[in-house]
């Protein structure tokens, strides 16, 4: 086991990034034109990186498995993007955003990276406004902000309930401009199935054309992954069905360490599971917690409709347990609190695995304000509700419509039913301060890396990290590496390393098609998801994790003996695509359980039942586990742990308190 060097620049925290930028080696414009960079993924992290690198002069190839970069999963983000601009004049600052992020991640993130993220956050908003992203504005024309969990200031910029879509259209426009100028070659419907390493450096990828089935070799002086998270290891999650870990897992098997895989985020406000044949879950934005109050009946198994339960018989349990933050506690805290109430018998709905998210009180409050503005200072309740509903509709209309379409219930009249579900993954490929992995020349950005969120991500910080990495961090740091690659001529793709990598991919495809078993890929994915959710989900314990590792190893053997992949390799074959992804999820699932078993503490989204306070909160062990767990692949079911010690010089490490 070795200690990892994260290459954090020396000096005072607030000056590290400034000094780095002013002293980092540069590549002159003429040399940039001869350097080729491969970007895998075209969501916020990938599209922003590809567009920016091309604008700087590099030759860029960008790959995505969707039919258009516009369909990247970043489009699904709803609630907003954080930035420390202090438009609300409520005391926000770069330091406060930095501190909230470190605390929200339960003191398990790297100080230098998080401070850099907080520093560049304000630039992101300016960039997006310049692109024409229609962020919400106040009456006077200034950009509006709303609250998100884990903070006591309003720093979340938003575009109704479709912030991710609008930000992605901005990044997509920047990317397509470079495509139009011939500076980016865009490869849609292509999936990366391996990385090519030559003399220890990443030098290209093997990609499969998903329409024709053809395998392709692509050279790059450097390779950048912006391929998103691995939440679909649980089968049911808020991720798009296509979201997967394959690119990240392939580079892991070629030498890139995988960090903190057990850090997964459960989002507290999802539409509950409705049946066994459901394929994904739908998120209700955290922004709804601005105006929605979460409660359960005080009586167990209360059969009454929510409208029939009087106010004094309702338990607003977040407001009761966490008075300082109330409904705006961080996601891991809110999720565990919902699970605790449901496990204790206070759940609602047919499944009893749900709690209420109720907008009535704030609808009435908004209505009273609107009536006052119109000169009516004593409005009746009906007037308040009518006027208030219009305000709620303006703020959250598309989210309410989505809920109504999925559940058949009108959330303006009856409270939403919500329950926690898998949403985001804080773990990912280990990267240093430069966003470079343990394979030189291979970079990883956005949700695919582990770097900025510790053990729990605060809401509205995913979009912030993806765009920060792509627009403002990687374009500086990659130059440090590429400045030493100017003399490297493009390596022909008939090089033995390319041939060998392609042959390995082809052998795997042939194996899938030759098994001809009796069970579908989805059959195995659902079984894996069940194991992961039950034993490595919202709560974990030694016995369950030990069982899960054995069950996953057995599942893997059965998968490779009995999976049925119909069709052929040289055609459009979605089942073959899924087979690759599920094979990787099975291996990742095992490592997640190994990591969760090794981490004998509770922190953020990693909740070991053996390690909790008397009040049922996460209990950290800073003496023994204040490190990033970075795992090296050694072979089937074999992983070696490397530690990156976490040192906090600028904040006081303490038990998280949202009370």
126: CB partners within 8 A, 6+ apart: none
Residues 41, 37: Cα–Cα separation, whole Å: 13
Q: Is 217 within 8 Å of 493 (Cβ atoms)?
A: yes
Q: Distances from the Cα of 289 to the Cαs of 60, 97, 150, in angstroms? A: 41, 20, 12
Could you give the 3-state DSSP secondary structure of residue 231? helix
Bridge-based pairing of strands 355-358 and 416-425 is: antiparallel
Bridge-based pairing of strands 190-198 and 201-209 is: antiparallel
Q: Distances from the Cα of 222 to the Cαs of 26, 67, 436, 448, 483, in angstroms? A: 15, 24, 10, 17, 11
| Residue 346 burial (C-beta neighbours within 10 Å; 0-12, 13-18, 19+) | buried
Instruction: Give the count of alpha carbons within 13 A of 508, CB side only.
Output: 19
Angle at 91 (CA atoms; ends 89, 97), nearest 5 degrees: 115
Q: Is 456 within 8 Å of 427 (Cβ atoms)?
A: no
Residue carrying structure tokens 């897992």: 249
Residue carrying structure tokens 């605790």: 340
Q: Is 303 within 8 Å of 323 (Cβ atoms)?
A: no
Is 331 noted as a catalytic residue in this protein? yes
What are the helix and strand counts (H, E) for the chain? Answer: 18, 19
Phi and psi at residue 645, to the nearest 5°: -65, 140
Q: Is 399 within 8 Å of 284 (Cβ atoms)?
A: yes
| Residue 450 burial (C-beta neighbours within 10 Å; 0-12, 13-18, 19+) | buried
Residues 267, 251: Cα–Cα separation, whole Å: 28
- Catalytic, out of 108, 217, 293, 331: 331
And the tokens for 558?
């059965």
Instruction: Give the count of alpha carbons within 13 A of 474, CB side only.
Output: 36
Residues tagged active-site? 331
């Amino acid at each position: 086991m070795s200690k990892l060097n994260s290459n954090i620049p020396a000096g005072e925290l607030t000056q590290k990034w400034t000094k780095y930028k002013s002293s980092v080696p540069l590549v002159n414009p003429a040399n940039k034109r001869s350097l080729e960079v491969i970007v895998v993924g075209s969501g916020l992290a990938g599209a922003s990186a590809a567009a920016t690198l091309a604008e700087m002069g590099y030759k860029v190839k960008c790959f995505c498995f969707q039919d258009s970069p516009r369909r990247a999963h970043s489009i699904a983000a709803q609630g907003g993007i954080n930035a420390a601009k202090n438009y609300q004049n409520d005391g926000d600052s770069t330091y406060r955003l930095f501190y909230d992020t470190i605390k929200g991640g339960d003191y398990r993130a790297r100080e230098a990276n998080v401070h850099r993220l907080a520093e560049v956050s304000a630039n992101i908003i300016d960039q997006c406004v310049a692109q024409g992203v229609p962020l919400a504005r106040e009456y006077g024309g200034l950009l509006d902000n709303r609250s998100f969990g884990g903070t006591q200031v309003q720093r979340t910029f938003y575009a109704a309930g479709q912030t991710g879509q609008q930000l992605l259209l901005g990044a997509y426009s920047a990317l397509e401009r470079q495509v139009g100028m011939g500076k980016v070659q865009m490869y849609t419907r292509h999936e990366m199935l391996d990385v090519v390493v030559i003399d220890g450096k990443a030098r290209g990828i093997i990609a499969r054309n998903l329409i024709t089935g053809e395998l392709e070799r692509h050279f790059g002086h450097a390779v950048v992954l912006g391929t998103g998270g691995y939440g679909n290891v649980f089968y049911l999650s808020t991720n798009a069905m296509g979201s997967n870990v394959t690119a990240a897992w392939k580079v892991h098997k070629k030498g890139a360490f995988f960090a903190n895989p057990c850090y997964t985020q459960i989002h507290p406000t999802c539409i509950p599971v409705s049946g066994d044949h459901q394929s994904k879950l739908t998120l209700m934005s955290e922004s709804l917690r601005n105006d929605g109050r979460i409660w359960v009946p005080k009586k167990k198994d209360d059969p009454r409709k929510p409208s029939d339960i009087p106010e004094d018989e309702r338990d607003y349990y977040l407001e009761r347990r966490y008075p300082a933050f109330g409904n705006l506690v961080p996601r891991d805290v809110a999720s565990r609190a919902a699970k605790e109430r449901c496990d204790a018998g206070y759940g609602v709905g047919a499944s009893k695995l749900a709690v209420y998210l109720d907008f009535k009180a704030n609808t009435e409050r908004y209505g009273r304000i609107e009536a006052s503005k119109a000169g009516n200072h004593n409005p009746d309740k009906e007037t308040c509700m009518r006027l208030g509903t219009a305000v709620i509709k303006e703020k959250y209309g598309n989210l309410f419509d989505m809920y109504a379409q999925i559940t058949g219930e009108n959330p303006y009249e009856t409270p939403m039913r919500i329950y926690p579900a898998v949403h985001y993954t804080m773990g990912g490929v280990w990267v240093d301060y430069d966003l470079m992995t343990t394979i030189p020349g291979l970079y990883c950005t956005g949700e695919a890396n582990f770097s900025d969120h510790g053990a729990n991500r605060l809401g509205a910080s995913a979009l912030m990290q993806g765009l920060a990495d792509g627009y403002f961090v990687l374009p500086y740091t990659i130059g440090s590496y590429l400045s030493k690659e100017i003399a490297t001529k493009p390596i022909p793709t008939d090089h033995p390393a390319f041939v060998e990598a392609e042959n390995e991919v082809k052998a795997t495809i042939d194996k899938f098609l030759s098994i001809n078993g009796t069970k579908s890929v989805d059959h195995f994915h659902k079984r894996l998801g069940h194991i992961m959710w039950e034993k490595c989900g919202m709560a974990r314990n030694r016995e369950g994790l030990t069982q899960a590792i054995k069950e996953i190893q057995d599942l893997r053997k059965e998968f490779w003996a009995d999976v049925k992949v119909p069709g052929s390799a040289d055609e459009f074959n979605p089942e073959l695509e899924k087979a690759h992804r599920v094979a990787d999820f099975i291996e990742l699932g095992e490592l997640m359980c190994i990591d969760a078993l090794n981490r004998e503490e509770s922190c953020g989204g990693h909740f070991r039942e053996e390690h909790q306070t008397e009040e049922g909160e996460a209990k950290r062990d800073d003496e023994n586990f204040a490190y990033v767990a970075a795992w090296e692949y050694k072979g089937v079911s074999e992983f070696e742990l490397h530690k990156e010690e976490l040192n906090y010089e600028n904040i006081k490490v303490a038990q998280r308190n949202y009370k």
